[in-house]
Amino acid sequence: MTDGSTAAAPVVAVGGIAVVDGALLLVRRAHPPHAGAWTIPGGRVEPGEALTDAVERELAEETGLDVRCGRFLGLAERMGPGYHFVILDFLVDVPAGAVPPSAGGDAADSAWFALERVPDLDLVDGVEAFLRAHGVLA
């Protein structure tokens, strides 16, 4: 960036990708950047917090689901005026018989979407490409 007035220090964040019975768990962002768009649930890693713990905590806060963090899937980087997020995305396991998701924390809504429907949603820029590049979407 040439204009230091819009630069922000990178923030480490995590995301949790849950696919159950051909459906992907997504949250609708409640706040900028990209308020109103659908994305992978997750958020900032707290100081001293292990990445796997952050994934499980963030999904519990945003979806109400008690998940278990699985393997690392990939890295995404999001930058814009006043923000720079380095996001480490992990697969997560949702226990059988889990309750439907309920939005909380920074999420305005949370829901399961059939994988074939995901590209038709108003997604945060880059989410569809990330999901395709990592084999979540065909």
Beta strand 19-20 with 107-114 is unpaired
Largest distance between two CA atoms of the chain: 51
**39-96 per-position pLDDT tens digit:** 999 999 999 999 999 999 999 999 999 999 999 999 999 999 999 999 999 999 999 8
**Predicted structure pTM score:** 0.92
Q: Please, what's the b/e burial string for 82-114 (b: 16 or more CB within 10 A of its CB; e: otherwise)?
A: eeebebbbbbbebeeeeeebebebbbebbbbbe
What's the mean pLDDT in 26-33? 94
Nearest one of 115, 99, 13 to 63, comparing CA atoms: 99
CATH class, range 4-133: alpha beta
Q: Which comes out higher in pLDDT, residue 28 or 99?
A: 28
3-state secondary structure (DSSP) of residue 85? strand
The domain locations on the chain are 4-133
**102-119 per-position pLDDT tens digit:** 999 989 999 999 999 999
d(CA 109, CA 61): 12
How much is the pLDDT for 2? 47
Q: What average pLDDT does the structure give for the chain? A: 94
Beta strand 68-80 with 83-93 is antiparallel
pLDDT exceeds 60 at position 3: no
